[in-house]
Amino acid sequence: MSNQTLVEHFEISLHTPSGEVTTAVGVPTSFVPITAILPLMRSLGEEVQALEQRRLVEAGRTVSCQKGCAACCRMLVPISVPEAFALAQAIDRLEQSERNRRLAKLDLAQQQLARAGLLTKLFSFAESPDPVNDEAIEPLNRAYYALRMPCPFLDDEVCSIYADRPAACRELAVTSPATECQDMTKHTVQPIPVAVRISTALSLLWADLTATTPRLIPLPLAIDWAKRHQAEQTQRWAGTELFEKALDKIGRYLGQETARRSSGSERE
């Protein structure tokens, strides 16, 4: 049996608020861990977001974000369970000296959060047995950003985990001048709209697969969280099942966002 029989090919179309994304994907038919769906989900999210950016550029706007501009890397980044597992695995693959350096930076970040009285609150957020809504997390977002603490994965204002960076980081871009980003709370900051938040879709996917609560984990706690839940990483699902469920979550999110924008346009 050739390896080709283990992959099933699909051509999919996603209807987004800014147009249609059509792409071909290969999906493993064997049983795979949840992290196997990440490359596909990231690729779809980036294609959808590229369409959003293209629409704004065609309207005369300019995307300000460039390498070395890391003002947004002081914000609290929530990641899904699959992303936490994948990030922990990526850190484990590093050479020991580099792995120790990254873990030491994470430890320093947690110490700073503890001194600010935020570590326990963030831990409770990550382990909450109940869904946490945006209103509940917003005070934590503001308190975290007030620290202006660089992401523990930031080296000389450059992301050290760029290939493995969370979906929330991939989705954040602005068209306002870069100087405005020195305070991301300012109303003059103009982020590019996000048609589908992949971290949320992945969170919903994991909750569906495991019959648990949808959760997002603060990035500075993600490695520790993944280690505590290491046994859960051994679970496997048919690749086609993961793909179909993931596509359903993305489609529902896009449908809701399209309806929200249409409703907003009608009110304007």
Average pLDDT over residues 5-17: 87
In this prediction, residues 233-239 reach a mean pLDDT of: 94
136 backbone dihedrals φ, ψ, rounded to 5°:
-70, -35
Asked if 84 contacts 225 with a C-beta cutoff of 8 angstroms, the reply is yes
Asked if 182 contacts 108 with a C-beta cutoff of 8 angstroms, the reply is no
Tell me the three-class secondary structure of the chain, residue by residue.
CCHHHHEEEEEEEEEECCEEEEEEEEEECCEECHHHHHHHHHHHHHHHHHHHHHHHHHCCCCCCCCCCCCHHHHCCCEECHHHHHHHHHHHHCCCHHHHHHHHHHHHHHHHHHHHCCCHHHHHHHHHCCCCCCHHHHHHHHHHHHHCCCCCCCEECCEECCHHHCCHHHHHCCECCCHHHHHCCCCCCCCECCCCCCHHHHHHHHHHHHHCCCCCCEEHHHHHHHHHHCHHHHHCCEEHHHHHHHHHHHHHHHHHHHHHHHHHHHHHC
Label residue 268 by pLDDT band (50, 70, 90).
very low
**% of the chain beyond a pLDDT of 70:** 97
Q: Dihedral (C-alpha) 65, 81, 199, 141: value to the nearest 10 degrees? A: -70
**If we measure between CA atoms, which residue out of 123, 87, 114 comes closest to residue 102?**
87
Query: In which domain, by residue range, is 248 found?
Result: 3-267
Mean pLDDT of the chain: 92
For the stretch 31-40, pLDDT in tens is: 999 999 999 9
145: CB partners within 8 A, 6+ apart: 74, 75, 76, 184, 185
201 pLDDT more than 50:
yes
Contacts of residue 148, defined as CB under 8 A and 6 or more positions apart, other chains included, come to 74
pTM (predicted TM-score): 0.92
Tell whether the model's pLDDT for residue 4 goes beyond 60: no
The pLDDT value recorded for residue 134 is 78
pLDDT (average), residues 11-17? 93
Out of 60-64, 128-132, 154-158, 229-233, least confident range: 128-132
| Residue 266: predicted pLDDT | 42
- Tokens standing for residue 18: 């800014």
Cα gap 198→250, rounded to integer Å: 8
Residue range 246-259: mean pLDDT, rounded: 94
Better-predicted residue by pLDDT, 266 or 56: 56
Q: What is the pLDDT of residues 127-159, one digit of tens each?
A: 988 887 778 889 999 999 999 999 999 999 999
Closest to 107 measured CA to CA, from 240, 231, 220: 220
Question: Tens digit of pLDDT for each residue in 44-54?
Answer: 999 999 999 99
How far apart CA 172 and CA 174 sit, in angstroms, is: 7
| Cα distance between residue 81 and residue 225, in whole Å | 9
**Residue 19, token pair as written in the block:** 């147009």
Alpha-carbon distances, residue 47 vs 8, 14, 202, 231, 241 (angstroms): 21, 10, 17, 33, 22
pLDDT digits (tens, 9 = 90+) for 91-134: 999 999 999 999 999 999 999 999 999 999 999 999 988 887 77
State the pLDDT at residue 265.
58
| Count of the separate structural domains present in the chain | 1
Overall average pLDDT of the 6-13 stretch: 89
Please indicate whether residue 132 or residue 252 has the higher confidence score (pLDDT): 252
Question: Taking residues 75-94, what's their average pLDDT?
Answer: 97
